[in-house]
Amino acid sequence: MKKDLPQNIVEDISIAVVLEGEAPTGKTWNVYLINEKSEPISNVMVSSKGYGINDEKEVKTSILRHFIGDIDPHDYARIEAIDEQVFGLTNEYWLSYYIDGTIYDKKYIFLPESIIDDNLIKIPVLNKPGVLIGGQN
C-alpha cells in the first residue's frame, strides 16, 4: 500500500530562475538545479511545463524533459533557458534523482508573477541574481 512506501524526502536541492544578463532587447534568464548536499546525486531528470490563464484563455506550454545526469556536491546544472513571456504562468519543474540506488522526486512551482525584480536574491553556488525554490530544509 501507499502508506508502506518510504518517504524519501528531498532536502538541500534547489531550483532557481537566474538572471544571466541584460541587453536593450531584454533580459536573459536560465533555470538551474543546485545540489547543496555534501553528496552527489545521479540520473537526474527534470520535466518542465507552464500553465495558466493569459488574456482570459487557458494556456499550456509543451512539456519538456531534460536528462541532466550526475551533479556533484555543492554544484549545479543548467536545466533550460526560460522566456520572460511565461513568467505570468505557473512554471512547474518535476525533479527525479537517485542517491545510493534510492529514488527521490519533488515538484517545484514558480507561481505567476513570482519571478520579478523585487524577489531577486543572490543564488548560492551560482552567485548571480535570481528567484530560488528549495534550499536548506
Read off the pLDDT of each residue in 55-72 and give the average, rounded to a whole number.
95
- Residue ranges covered by each domain of the chain: 11-114
pLDDT at position 4 over 90? no
Grid cell for residue 51: 500553465
Indicate the CATH number of 11-114 among 1.10.3720.10, 3.55.50.30, 2.60.40.10, 1.10.10.60.
2.60.40.10
Contact 29, 80 (CB under 8 A): no
Would the pTM count as exceeding 0.75? yes
Pair 16, 131: CB distance under 8 Å: yes
Per-residue pLDDT reduced to its tens digit, 71-114: 999 999 999 999 999 999 999 999 999 999 999 999 999 999 99
Q: What is the pLDDT of residue 137?
A: 46
